Structure 1
Amino acid sequence: MKKTLVSALTTALVVGAASTTFAAANPFSDVPADHWAYDAVSQLAADGVIEGYGDTTFRGNQNITRYEMAQMIAKAMAKTDVSAADKALIDKLAAEFSDELNNLGVRVSNLERNADNVKWNGKAEYTYKSLRDKDTTDPDQKKKNSDHLLFRLEPSAEVNSNWHVNARLDASTEMDSDSAKDNEDKVDLKRIWAQGNYGNFQVKLGKFAQIDDDSIFDTTFSGAEVKFGNKVTFTAGAGRQSDADLNSQLKDFDETANYQYAGLGYADGKFVGGVDYHHLNADSLNYLKDLKAKKDYTQDDTANIWLAKAAYQFDKTNGLNGFYANNTSADDFDHAWSAEYDYKGAQAENKGTWGMWAAYRNLGANTALFSTFDAILAGQKGWEVGANYAPFKNVVATLRYGNGKDLRTDNDIENLFGRIEMFF
């Protein structure tokens, strides 16, 4: 297998943290200063990882052999002042090119071959919520505040070149409850699944986030999913949906629901879009009774929900996204939609980055069954504004404000949401 300039740039990223001469003087006549790879190539030369062809040329568009790539990796392995992340990447490259490295006299042990098979990511977060019903006479519903702490671990283990096993483990506590009786400290295995990737074909088995985790179906389910395609993708899944993932405004399913879904997606450059279908059935899906009006809003035991979504990124700072969904089996609250404008956005890895957004959402509770929007909730409609900011590397602070109506009672609502996340 032959590589081109991309291989060299991979190694450049590996040794980047170890170098003190970034963007050194131009060593190659065929890599001008305005070339997209200039900084990386110059640093590689300054670090002694590449030497060019002796005639002042780099020939970046020319294929290189695995043996030549191994030479660069060997030089990167000789460096000692590298970070833990860079060392892990070096080990992984060394495992891939172990045969060539052995021919060069660079020993790669079996332990090194298996290095970095398990990766750990995670975060710690604090969340504050204040949900307010301006028109209710019930003091318990007038204002509900909560303080929540979460510690999340997300391991990913490599089984072989095609299969990985992934998981999500959450430990959480409610800070607004100090008594041992009322405190809801808990540790949950939220997700665990095996994922196989074969070119443009992917399969998932276990409990995982499904096709619409970017809209009203932001939840997990237990089952199987297949996906294939490149720019145009087809996804289908089937399994069981737990009643524990329903919105808090709804009563639980009498039993866990059977769940099937399928969708077509398209992604090309600045535009992403898709059309999906979701089917759920269980013994009952009943809503809270409106005691004042003496009404009982009841959903059929079957939900058939169609959803269309799209997003367009105009440039690096401006984007639009939205969706529309309709539950054809519901008699009321049978549609949900959202339109959002985004300006920039905080990047956890880049200190000082920030973003802001404005949105209008109408989330009919018979359709937005699993919505996790934070400022306008399921069963509500209204405006949301928000902003996020990265004050330090790997730390993001988010604020959201929602103002609108409760769809069931027509009461005015106001929601506040704040979160601080620390990623590792």
Structure 2
Amino acid sequence: MKKTLVSALTTALVVGAASTTFAAANPFSDVPADHWAYDAVSQLAADGVIEGYGDTTFRGNQNITRYEMAQMIAKAMAKSDVSAADKALIDKLAAEFSDELNNLGVRVSNLERNADKVKWNGKAEYTYWSHRNKDTQDPALKKNNDDQLLFRLEPSAEVNNHWHVNARLDASTDLSKDSTDPSVVRDTAKTHDDGVQDTNVKLKRVWAQGNYDNFQVKLGKFAQIDSDSIFDTAFSGAEVSFGNKVTFTAGAGRQNMDENSDFKQTFDFTKNDKMANYQYAGLGYADGKFVGGVDYHHLNADSFDYTVNKGAKANVEDNANIWLVKAGYQFDKTNGLNGFYANNTSADDFDNAWSAQYSYKGAQAENKGTWGAWAAYRHLGDNTALFSTFDAILAGQKGWEIGANYAPFKNVVATLRYGNGKQLLTDDKIENLFGRIEMFF
């Protein structure tokens, strides 16, 4: 039902004119002093109940809804310094528009609650790395340095008590070249030496996640179950997980191998099929100081094309069948061990990857002054470490890594890593330096 503003103000005058005196100046050019509603309009404007339009007009002949009138009454009800006569008028108007005021309250409440449903996290990140091959004669591989800047946003929106929608948006630039040309910018999330990444803002991940008692489901593009080992990348598909201390996880979908620079060293991208069919399943256990798990990963794509038989009858394999065992033990608040071993049963060469790491403490972004250090040995065969994002020992290399991190300020973490080892294919000696500063918000 609609009511003109004139008729609404008439109601106000009829209800309370006998006991109300209006003495405010008129702020509206189209309400003359001899207009019948002059006193009401002037007083309500002076009290901040009505505001008119930016051109100093009131436009009182326009239709307004009862909901719009209720908004005006709500403003008047919020005032605490009104006279007894004005209070009586406001109360009678509130009774007339009680349904609209109730709806208004519900709407305001919902807006406030919806604002709390969406949370934004993210970080700004500066990364420097230097990859060095001490034995090669190729000047392009002798020493390769770069520094990069990444800006990341990670929104999370509540759908209901069980479901959330999550996303990751990344934008990066190559500082050494002061360029956003995708031909010269590397993927800062991977930090490998030949990756190429478009620096326009990219939606890297987006998925819906449902959390229930001892059950979880993910749908969209998200990271797999082995983010702590060699499968640290996102794929598009679905995943379900059951259990509490003992968990079973399974997923399936499609993996874009062209997004990961490790593949460019190993596989044939002249093939049309750059997408791999991907399935995985795993059992995990976590209780107190110990965590562990066994996983199986299967990928199939024409572009794998790695040799599985040596000699004159060599052929190529379009499948990867990778088994992985991982474990970690936290002795106390400061000392911990973790590691994994993986094997690609479809490959003959570079068919295993493993790592063992000792960690002491660890920087906590929320706690200024915290720090940590670690030492590790890693062996990352190309045909198994398909998605590795280790920064000091890369896929196709083996060697020692030492590192440390420190939180100089709240929500700021600085990390240094140094790797020393060999290329698995050529046995060339290598050194890798890695530094990063992250500012979380």
Out of 408, 411, 416, the residue aligned to residue 394 of structure 1 is 411
Letter of the 1:143 counterpart: K
Letter of the 1:377 counterpart: L
1:203 alignment counterpart: 217
Between the aligned partners of 2:336 and 2:115, the Cα distance in structure 1 is 40
Find out whether 1:320 has 2:334 as its counterpart: no
Q: Secondary structure of 2:258's match?
A: helix
Distance 1:179 1:354, change over 3 A: closer
Distance 1:299 1:188, change over 3 A: farther
Letter of the 1:307 counterpart: L
Out of 226, 230, 233, the residue aligned to residue 247 of structure 2 is 233
Do the aligned residues in 2 keep the contact of 1:243 with 1:252 (CA within 8 Å)? no
Letter of the 1:190 counterpart: K
Between the aligned partners of 1:323 and 1:315, the Cα distance in structure 2 is 21
Find out whether 1:280 has 2:294 as its counterpart: no
2:132 alignment counterpart: 132
| 1:81-101 Cα shifts (integer Å, max 9, x gaps) | xxxxxxxxxxxxxxxxxxxxx
Q: Which has the larger radius of gyration?
A: 2
Report the Cα offset of residue 200 of structure 1: 0.7
1:80 alignment counterpart: none
| 1:137-195 Cα shifts (integer Å, max 9, x gaps) | 00000000011100000000000001100000000011122367655432211000000
Out of 247, 250, 265, the residue aligned to residue 249 of structure 1 is 265
Matches within 5 A, 1:22-421: 109-178=109-178, 182-184=183-185, 185-246=199-260, 247=262, 248-251=264-267, 253=269, 254=271, 255=273, 256-286=275-305, 300-421=317-438
Letter of the 1:125 counterpart: E
Distance 1:298 1:174, change over 3 A: farther
Structural RMSD (CA):
2.4
Between the aligned partners of 1:284 and 1:228, the Cα distance in structure 2 is 34
Structure 2 gaps of 5+ residues are: 1-106, 186-198
Q: Secondary structure of 1:109's match?
A: helix
Between the aligned partners of 2:333 and 2:117, the Cα distance in structure 1 is 34
Do the aligned residues in 2 keep the contact of 1:355 with 1:389 (CA within 8 Å)? yes
2:13 alignment counterpart: none
Do the aligned residues in 2 keep the contact of 1:278 with 1:304 (CA within 8 Å)? yes
TM-score (norm 1): 0.71
Report the Cα offset of residue 252 of structure 1: 5.4
Report the Cα offset of residue 284 of structure 1: 2.5
Distance 1:298 1:350, change over 3 A: farther
Do the aligned residues in 2 keep the contact of 1:285 with 1:298 (CA within 8 Å)? no
Do the aligned residues in 2 keep the contact of 1:193 with 1:206 (CA within 8 Å)? yes
1:65 alignment counterpart: none
Do the aligned residues in 1 keep the contact of 2:365 with 2:413 (CA within 8 Å)? yes
Report the Cα offset of residue 299 of structure 1: 5.5
Do the aligned residues in 1 keep the contact of 2:211 with 2:217 (CA within 8 Å)? yes
> Runs in 1 of length 4+ with deviation above 4 angstroms?
179-183
Count of matched residue pairs: 315
Between the aligned partners of 1:180 and 1:154, the Cα distance in structure 2 is 22
Between the aligned partners of 1:270 and 1:375, the Cα distance in structure 2 is 27
TM-score (norm 2): 0.68
Distance 1:179 1:158, change over 3 A: closer
Letter of the 1:216 counterpart: I
Report the Cα offset of residue 131 of structure 1: 0.3
